[in-house]
Amino acid sequence: MICVIATVLNEGDSIRGLMDSLVWQTRQPDAVIIVDGGSRDNTAQVLYSYEGKLPLRVILAPGCGISEGRNIAIRAADANAIIAVTDAGVVLAPDWLENITRPLRESESVNVVSGFFEADPHTPFELAMGATVLPLADEIRAESFLPSSRSVAFRKSAWEAVGGYPEWLDYCEDLIFDLRLKASLGEFALAKDAIAYFRPRSSFRAFFKQYRLYARGDGKADLWRKRHAIRYATYLIGVPLIALLGTRVHPLWWGLALIGGFVYTRTPYRRLPTLIESARKRGRFPITPFVIGYVAALIPVIRVVGDVAKMIGYPVGWLWRLRNNPPDWR
């Protein structure tokens, strides 16, 4: 049995994309369980309108977080179910469910399958965002990739083995879940052709909030100490030192900043032609030389804004950790 699950909250304007893409799957789910965490809009009404099109069960759980909502949905699935997890706000490729569950259906030794996700930008800003923050398929390595819970599948027994999603975390919860699965059950299978399409953040304000909360989650879970330390050292020590040396010693020192900027942005710029071609095929907005230049100019700015957001969010998470003494997930 294959069960698709998701947690939603105030997704009335976007949930139809996900639901319609589930209706058109080449491999239909045996069950769809969606937990609504207390939406104040018409999300539940939209969901109920799909009851005749999908084997749908909607569970109303006001106040539950995303981890708790996922755990509620998975708990309600059959004992031997294959669980496919996705998010509201995405549109699934027609063969997503077929591809993401194939390794689990074909081999009893597979416990977890990493699906993939691609940006579906509707504006030039979202195109720049996708190039900056999302990997391309050729960058992914099965042994190190940690899937987002917008595109992942696993056996219910695997979820039980690690105690489910960590309900004490509001962000980075799927990352902790992935790390615990890998520690307990070994490597994941990788299904690059199981694609969930989603829109990147559409403004600097939304992006800043997203990355601040992600970094707060890192602090709460004590993740990536070295990465965050390098970021603080770069911005608080390295950049001021280069500026000082370039001003007081010789302007050639500023060349180090140019070299660092090139290294820091080369991956987004490498992704850009692929995403531009994809956006051109979708035809959501015109791809002109001006648009390409605008997108290219946004990339370093997005990088810096994301870094500042992380540097603000991470200590907030650590302060929460010191005050609340959360479980040692490791």
Please list the alpha-helical segments (H only) found in 142-288. 156-161, 173-185, 204-221, 225-233, 239-248, 254-282
pLDDT of residue 257: 83
pTM over 0.85: yes
Which of 18-27, 259-268, 312-321 is least confident? Answer: 259-268
Please list the alpha-helical segments (H only) found in 234-325. 239-248, 254-282, 289-324
- Its sign, for the CA torsion 151, 190, 99, 164, is negative
Percent above pLDDT 70 for the chain = 100
3-state secondary structure of 56: strand
CA-to-CA separations, 327 to 157, 232, 288, 323, in angstroms, rounded: 22, 27, 51, 12
CA nearest neighbour of 86 among 76, 101, 75: 101
Domains and CATH numbers, the chain: 2-198 (3.90.550.10), 204-324 (no CATH)
Label residue 113 by pLDDT band (50, 70, 90).
very high
Do residues 101 and 191 make contact, with C-beta atoms less than 8 angstroms apart? no
Do residues 285 and 124 make contact, with C-beta atoms less than 8 angstroms apart? yes
Predicted confidence (pLDDT) per residue in 209-232, tens digit: 999 999 999 999 999 999 999 999
Work out whether strand 112-119 and strand 189-198 pair parallel, antiparallel, or are unpaired. Answer: parallel
pLDDT of residue 210: 95
Predicted confidence (pLDDT) per residue in 20-54, tens digit: 999 999 999 999 999 999 999 899 999 999 999 99
